[in-house]
Amino acid sequence: MRALAIDRDVIVVVSAIWQTTCTAIRAGDEGFVIDSPVLPDELDALSSLLEQAGFPVSGLLATHGDWDHLLGRLAFAEASLGVGEPTAARLAAEPGAAQRDLRGFDDEHYIDGRAPLGLAGVQALPVPGRLSIGADGAELELHPAPGHTVDGTFFWLPWCSVLVCGDYLSPVEIPMVSDAQAYLATLERLLGLVERASTVVPGHGAPQSGEDAKRRIEEDMAYVDALLGGGDAALPRRRRSPEQRRIHARNLAGLSP
């Protein structure tokens, strides 16, 4: 696990598994943890890391309902978990799915003794919408982000020009597409936010500058456009490993009638 201070009010933790990111943010005496690392020792270390850095944890947020982004409760068992309304609907429609996927991962990787993942009492947040943080009037902006999954939320932090965009714009992973039209529309919405961002935090991979993220939008738009055109899309440069080719094959299969 790597911890990166990208702003006085933002720390990003990058998991050793899939480079899944977890972003701690603060404004004054209030703070949130967005998404989560994956491994038990990473989750165990998270609370002490943030305490030492002076980051309060007033609550948890998640960009979407994939299990590897929902593990904050294993580090902060009493904290409330807020998600966009589409994610809350997905979790309600798929009871126990995240827990089953987590158990499957733990079985595959011989991980024992993890506490049960509790997702009761999830708070649904309006998307688009705003969430106040701190006593000085700072606000998080919530923007819709379907296409990777049926749900999804971007979190824009205007007081420090940081965008937390979930499973989009990864430097290590090609687009994983459930709905290509929705994915393309989400990339188009992203562009306006990225142009204002000093730093963009993807769901997988290290934080990147706004300029780098803008180039990645162009690459990912070209890839998804090619998928929609019915052709075999070329994989973006630097994302052509055997695993990315397997993801590409799944994307193609998902487009088949």
Tell me: the pLDDT tens digits for 117-174? 999 889 999 999 999 998 688 999 999 999 999 999 999 999 999 999 999 999 999 9
CA distance 21 to 159: 21
Domain count, the chain: 1
Range of the structural domain that residue 245 is part of? 2-255
Give the CATH number for residue 187: 3.60.15.10
Q: Which is nearest to 148 in space by CA: 190, 196, 119, 118?
A: 190
Sign of the alpha-carbon torsion through 29, 137, 164, 84: positive
Q: 237 pLDDT band (50/70/90 cuts)? A: confident
Residue 11 confidence (pLDDT):
98
- The bridge status of strand 199-201 relative to strand 162-164 is parallel
Token pair listed for 30: 């209030």
> How confident is the model over 17-63, as pLDDT tens digits?
999 999 999 998 999 999 999 999 999 999 999 999 999 999 999 99
Share of the chain above pLDDT 90, in %: 89
